[in-house]
Structure 1
Amino acid sequence: MSVRVFYSQKTEQLIKKMELKEWRARLQDELTQKHQDLSDNWKTCALGERVRTEGRDLKNLKELSPEAIKLGYDFSVALQERNSDLALEIIEKIERLPTIWRDEV
Structure 2
Amino acid sequence: MVRVFYSQKTEDLIEKMTLTNWRQHVQQQLGQEHQDMSDNWKMCAIGERIKIEGKDLESIKDLSPEAIRLGYEFSVAMQEKDNEKALEIITKIEQLPTIWRNEING
- Letter aligned with residue 96 of structure 2: L
Indicate yes or no: 2:66 matched with 1:70: no
- Letter aligned with residue 23 of structure 1: W
**Structure 1 residue 14: Cα displacement:** 2.7
2:100 aligns with 101
Flag the 1:62–1:39 CA change in 2: closer, same or farther, 3 A: same
2:50 aligns with 51
1:14 aligns with 14
2:3 aligns with none
Which ranges in structure 1 are unaligned for 5 or more consecutive residues?
A: 1-8
TM superposition score normalised by structure 1: 0.87
**Structure 1 residue 27: Cα displacement:** 1.1
Flag the 1:42–1:14 CA change in 2: closer, same or farther, 3 A: same
1:25 partner SS: helix
CA contact (8 A) 2:13 2:53 kept: no
**Structure 1 residue 12: Cα displacement:** 4.0
Q: Name the larger-Rg structure.
A: 1
Indicate yes or no: 2:22 matched with 1:23: yes
Q: Which moved more, 1:94-103 or 1:25-34?
A: 25-34
Task: Name the structure where helix makes up a greater proportion of residues.
Answer: 2
For the aligned residue pairs, the C-alpha RMSD in angstroms reads 1.4
- Identical columns (%): 60
1:4 aligns with none
TM superposition score normalised by structure 2: 0.86
Which ranges in structure 2 are unaligned for 5 or more consecutive residues?
A: 1-7
- Letter aligned with residue 14 of structure 1: I
Distance 1:82 1:65 in 2: 25
Distance 1:91 1:77 in 2: 13
Deviations 1:16-51 (A, max 9, x none): 1x1001101111210011100000000000000000
